Amino acid sequence: MAEEKKLFKVTIDNISVEVEPGTTILNAARQIGGDIVPPAMCYYSKLQGSGGKCRTCLVKVSKGSEADPRPMPKLVASCRTTVMDGMEVANITSPEVIEARKGVVEILLLNHPLDCPICDQAGECHLQDLSYEHGVSATRYEFKRRTFDKVDLGDKIQLHMTRCILCYRCVFTADQLTEKREHGVLGRGEHAEIGTYIKESLDNDFIGNVIDVCPVGALTDKTFRFKNRVWFLKPVDAHRNCENPKCCGKTTLWMRGEEVFRVTARKDVYGEVEAFICDTCRFDKKEAKDWVVEGPRNISRSSVISQNHYVKTVKPQETIEKVLDGRKPKLLMDIHTVSEVNRPGIDLSQIEGPAHSDDFNKKGVQ
């Protein structure tokens, strides 16, 4: 009989889990799930060597292990620190961690413009989520932010360095997924920037994946840019028999009616690509007939994309009548009679795709 593998017990925010030796604190937390999972802006489980850079995943190790219970002197990057048996970790239960994370968010936002309203990544941006969770409404930074001109990296990808947070994910992607790496980080410190090899274009089979791994809106898909806001689109899982043997051909289509606006790889709960896709699938197959649609994609991340996608909602009981002993409340104004738009007969959730002005055509008012 094969010897049973010894598992390590780790306790994160008072919740214990047993994991295989070699598991990082972040991945142990992901096995537990929920709020205790540290955020990650640079780690990407599918990319070797990623992580450790952004410092958003810092946690406090209050007990090193059963054998050596001493706490670790500094906060550690949970994405790169492996668990020990008996380790105890504090994430959201540590005020020190929350404070440090707030600091990291503030620092990440120094040079990142908060231009979400015009950024193509709005709704899908991890930094946007992070700043909502940990940020403050005002910045104490009163200096000019660094800005760059937009650069077209080939005909399909646009780089806007102004928004880049130098997480290196795209560099690792290009390095590990494509045959040759044509871009990397140039310069040092605050002058560091993502750049191509003497303005070469990125035109490898799999290079489009850099768009998917970019946590912010620095790398965008030119075939989609500003054609729509993601939350107006309906994500569906689809597949096709891709000729490229390395491509799984399984994607998410972002549709409106029959129109395919955008094709991306499928992402998991942490916003990470499940399997990378080739550029043909991503950029060239933009018609519904190219694909076999499997069904709606469940976006489980707490993102605006999943907002208003009511699943299993329970209609609130009308309580006012109860309170008023069965009397109906006196309405000062009935919005339906005034607007003639929000007709009670129309159930928004029944409309195919997002609501459109045609659905509220006055002529249709009965």
Partner 1 sequence: MGRKLLLDKAHIEGIRYYDVYRKNGGYAAAEKALKSMTTDQVLDEVKKSGLRGRGGAGFPTGLKWSFIAKPEGVPRYLVCNADESEPGTFKDRYLMEFLPHLLIEGLLISSYTLGANSTYIYIRGEYAWIPDILEEAIAEAKKNGWLGKNIQGTGFDLEIYVQRGGGAYICGEETALIESLEGKRGNPRLKPPFPAVKGLWQSPTVVNNVETLAAVVPIINIGGEEYAKIGVGKSTGTKLISACGNINKPGVYEIDMTISVEEFIYSEEYCGGIPNGKRLKACIPGGSSVPILPANLLLTTAKGEKRMMNYESLNDGGFATGTMMGSGGFIVLDEDQCVVRHTLSLARFYHHESCGQCSPCREGTGWMKRVLLNIENGKGKMSDIDLLWDIQRKIEGNTICPLGDAAAWPVAAAIRHFRDEFEWHITHPEEALKRNFGLAHYADPLPVPQPVA
Binding site for ligand SF4 (CB under 6 A): 164-170, 194, 213-216, 218-219
50 vs 251, which CB is nearer to partner 1?
50
> Does position 108 bind ligand FES by CB under 6 A?
no
d(CA 366, CA 102): 54
What span, in angstroms and rounded, lies between the C-alpha atoms of 204 and 59? 37
Q: Which of 189, 167, 191, 171 is nearest to 181 (CA)?
A: 171
Q: Which of residues 117-136 bind partner 1 (CB under 8 A)?
A: none
Q: Which of 84, 108, 157, 278 binds partner 1 (CB under 8 A)?
A: 108
Residue 334 CA: distances (Å) to CA of 106, 164, 331, 362: 45, 48, 6, 18
Binding mask 156-185 toward partner 1 (x if CB under 8 A, else -) reads ---------xx-x---------------xx
The listed partner (ligand FES, partner 1, ligand SF4, none) that binds 194, CB under 5 to 8 Å by sort, is ligand SF4
CB of residue 147 vs ligand SF4: minimum separation in angstroms? 15
Is residue 79 involved in binding ligand FES (CB under 6 A)? Answer: yes
Indicate the helix (H) or strand (E) that contains 264: strand 259-265
Least Å from the CB of residue 150 to ligand SF4: 12
Min dist. Cβ of residue 130 to ligand SF4 (A): 13
CB atoms within 10 A of CB 133: 14
218 binds, among ligand FES, partner 1, ligand SF4, none (CB under 5 to 8 A by kind): ligand SF4
- Consecutive H or E run containing 11: strand 8-12
Minimal distance, residue 81 CB to ligand FES, in Å = 9
CA dist., res. 77 & res. 365, Å (int): 59
Q: Could you tell me if 85 and 67 are in contact, meaning their C-beta atoms sit under 8 angstroms apart? A: yes
Give CA–CA dist 33/43, Å, rounded.
Answer: 17
Question: Is residue 95 within 8 Å of 59, Cβ to Cβ?
Answer: no
Residue 239, SS3?
A: strand
Residues 73-92 that bind partner 1 (CB under 8 A): 74-75, 77, 80
Shortest approach of partner 1 to residue 113 CB, angstroms? 14
Q: In the complex with partner 1, which residue's Cβ is closer, 105 or 230? A: 105
Among ligand SF4, ligand FES, partner 1, none, partner that 29 touches (CB below 5 to 8 angstroms by kind) = none
Region near partner 1 per CB under 8 A, out of 17-25, 137-145, 211-219, 313-321: 137-145
β-sheet bridge partners, residue 347: none
Could you tell me which stretch among 38-46, 135-143, 181-189, 358-366 binds ligand FES (CB under 6 A)? 38-46
Backbone angles phi, psi at 173, to 5 degrees: -60, -50
Instruction: Rule CB under 6 A: say whether 271 interacts with ligand FES.
Output: no
Q: Does 53 bind ligand FES (CB under 6 A)?
A: yes
Phi/psi zone of residue 123: left (φ > 0), alpha (ψ -120 to 50 degrees), beta?
A: left
Could you give the CA distance from residue 191 to residue 181 in angstroms, rounded to a whole number? Answer: 21
Q: Contact between 76 and ligand FES (CB under 6 A)?
A: no
161 sits near ligand FES (criterion: CB under 6 A): no
How far is Cα 231 from Cα 296, in angstroms, rounded to an integer? Answer: 14
List of residues contacting ligand FES (CB under 6 A): 40-43, 51-57, 77, 79
